[in-house]
Structure 1
Amino acid sequence: MDSKSRAHTSAKQEWIFQLILHLTVFHFVIIDHEHGQMVYELDWYQLAFFANYVCANLLISYVLLPRYLYRKRYLEFAVYCLLIVVAVILIEEFVLEKIFFPNTRGSDFQGAILSLGEVLSVLGALTGVKFAWDSIHRQREIDELKLMVKDSELSFLNSQINPHFLFNNLNNLYSYAVEQSPKTPEIILGLSGVLRYMLYECREAFVPLLKEVEQLRNFIQLYELQIEERGAVDFTTKNVSDNYQIAPLILNVFVENAFKHSQSGQSDEIRISISLAVDDTGTLHFSCVNNFEPTDFSNGENQGIGLKNVKKRLALLYPERHRLEIEQKGKEYRVSLQIKLQTP
């Protein structure tokens, strides 16, 4: 449904609601009390008096509210509302009552106070409900806008993942190709499998946890080829099943950083430990620990978009449902992440 059709539907719903509201208020206006019982008295003068209220309400609801109150011009709104109330009372006392009650109520202005109470109660009900309707509608628009912004930001962040991964691995692949390493075809095959998953299998906002862990295992094996015999990589999982879903590629950045930082400052004795477990409450516990030799690269400014990206994604996808701790002690870099997973 386009914006024009949506606006037309909303306007139609509002006018139907206004009709029901006015009929409901009119129902209470024509009720009279005699001997402790409610009696309905419908006469032409009641229709005329209520029509006077309806005109005033429409003027306040569809002119004063959007033009003054919603634009925070409160003083002007109050002044014009006061003038409208005065005009309603004058019309009621000097026009309508002169027509329908020429010899009784319309002969003087003694009923002005009574009229003021009735006018304020009826206009307060009609205008108040209109204000509430507008507030609900504006909140719905704000929620839709927030959702659009969230989806747009997630799309932008996701679009950064593939180029970021591809850039890092193509550099490594280039080095192996220059050295004519026999592992080059194996790396290309592994890279192709990971990219296939990124492009075709994780288009949804959430994917089965088991499939994501399998992809993460392939991702680790791809990087493990690059360190050859220079260290050890340990990857363990526990209680992983398809009973839960997770945002795709949310863990890859931490693994990628672990390999990158470990290799940047040392040529051997690389140690990387990665663990992933799901407890009985459906909380994912992810840990990634690696050793490294401090260099200018690891001092902060050149860490790239990876960590910033994943922190934003976590904040958008798991608000108040995740806990991320990144700690550097000496020559050890430790990442701990807990995520409250969702079921399919």
Structure 2
Amino acid sequence: MDSKSRSLTSAKQEWIFQIILHLTVFHFVIIDHKDGQMIYELEWFQLAFFANYVCANLLIGYVLLPRFLYRKRYLEFGIYCLLIVVAVILIEEFVLEKIFFPDTRGSDFQGAILSLGEVLSVLGALTGVKFAWDSIHRQREIDELKLMVKDSELSFLNSQINPHFLFNNLNNLYSHAVEQSPKTPELILGLSGMLRYMLYECREPFVPLLKEVEQLRNFIQLYELQIEERGAVDFTTSKVSDNYQIAPLILNVFVENAFKHSQSGQSDEIRISVSLSVDESGKLHFSCVNNFEPNEFPEGESNGIGLENVKKRLTLLYPERHQLHIEKSNQEYRVSLQIQLQTQ
């Protein structure tokens, strides 16, 4: 199940739960006691009064909680909640009671104290359960994120920092050293820097963007050794600032797939283009394009473990703050990723 389907399922489950909750609370609202027996009195005015509570609860639960309470803006949350409670009482006293009880309860102002108890009890029950639901959901996401980060780290280390990866790159470095290539010192430094970055500097959940771009450049240079004169690799960056931070190693999977797919069926004319820029609003624009031979591109290879892991990490680390588009044409594989970065 992809992230979009999972989000839709979660939203559907929440709304079903909310409907059941409101029906349960309304059930207790219409219960009355007469001559020692419990009876149900369902009248139109009860539906109108309860609808007033429902609107207030939806406003608190789906507007005030995420915008203020979860962002630790407690004072604003308290002020707006107080205003909503006052609005509910005013609507009840000056609108609903004058409509349904014009000659009795609506003939004069009964006072806030008489209505406050019922308003707070109903809203407290509805909003409290919504807060509990959100807390459980957020804890589940945190637990899933911890597990996913651990699995992603293990998957990346197993696929990249392994004897096969080091063997290929050391062999390439050896051949450059034998030929006394001027690139040898730079490539050795790049390999050392990438190993150090992945083993020591990626323990934090977020790293400076400049560091991530630097290790991505080293990563590309090392893979570029494997294609040598068989093609061209273009890596461009624009307006990359150290004011932003990003989850580490979240772009490497796309670059790794580009090299793997291009090399799998081509002996020459390999073309790989990687670009990265940050706009004025702090949104990262990442693009990775590579060509490949259609007959040599296994069906479903783009859905490997690494790609699935990075999709889940994006969903958990940047909920509603990223857009990922992957397109596969006859001879081209294109990845476009946008992430709203956070400042340091």
TM-score, length-scaled by structure 2: 0.59
Match of 2:321 in 1: 321
- Map of 2:120 onto structure 1: 129
Whether 2:145 is the aligned partner of 1:154: answer: yes
**CA distance in structure 1 between the aligned counterparts of 2:133 and 2:27, rounded to whole angstroms:** 27
Alpha-carbon distance, 1:195 to partner: 4.5
* Counterpart AA for 2:136: L
Deviation at 1:326, TM superposition (A): 1.4
Q: Which stretches in structure 2 are left out of the alignment for 5+ residues?
A: 1-19, 38-103, 178-183
Question: SS at the partner of 1:299?
Answer: coil
Q: Over aligned residue pairs, what C-alpha RMSD do you find? A: 3.9
Q: Report the residue type matching 1:153 in the other structure.
A: E
Gaps of 5+ in 1: 1-68, 88-112
Q: 1:83 aligns with which of 27, 30, 33?
A: 33
Distance 1:294 1:200, change over 3 A: same
**1:297, distance to aligned residue in structure 2 (A):** 4.7
- Greater shift in the superposed pair: 70-79 or 330-339: 70-79
3-state DSSP of counterpart to 2:342: coil
Separation (CA, whole Å) in 2 of partners of 1:85 and 1:133: 30
2:156–2:306 contact (8 Å) kept in structure 1: no
Deviation readout 1:53-109 (Å, 9 max, x if unpaired)? xxxxxxxxxxxxxxxx96965797367x4117979xxxxxxxxxxxxxxxxxxxxxx
Q: Is the 8 A contact 2:240 2:278 kept in 1?
A: yes
Following superposition, the deviation at residue 327 of structure 1 comes to: 1.5
Kindly state the Cα deviation for residue 141 of structure 1 after the two structures are TM-superposed.
2.5
Q: Any idea what the Cα deviations from partners look like across 1:245-298, whole Å, max 9, x if unmatched?
A: 222222111111101111111122222111111122222211111111124653
Whether 1:173 and 2:165 are equivalent positions in the alignment is yes
Distance 1:73 1:268, change over 3 A: same
Q: Deviations over 1:206-260 (max 9, x none)?
A: 2211111112112212222222332221111111111222222221111111011
Which of 125, 144, 155 is 2:135 aligned to? 144
Q: Secondary structure of 1:298's partner?
A: coil
In structure 1, which of residues 148, 168, 182 is the aligned counterpart of residue 174 of structure 2? Answer: 182
Q: TM-score, normalising length from structure 1? A: 0.59
Q: Which residue of 2 aligns with 1:267?
A: 267
Alpha-carbon deviation of 1:305?
1.4
Give SS of 1:83's match.
Answer: strand
Aligned residues: 247
SS of residue paired to 2:221: helix
**In 1, are the aligned partners of 2:262 and 2:270 still within 8 Å (CA)?**
yes
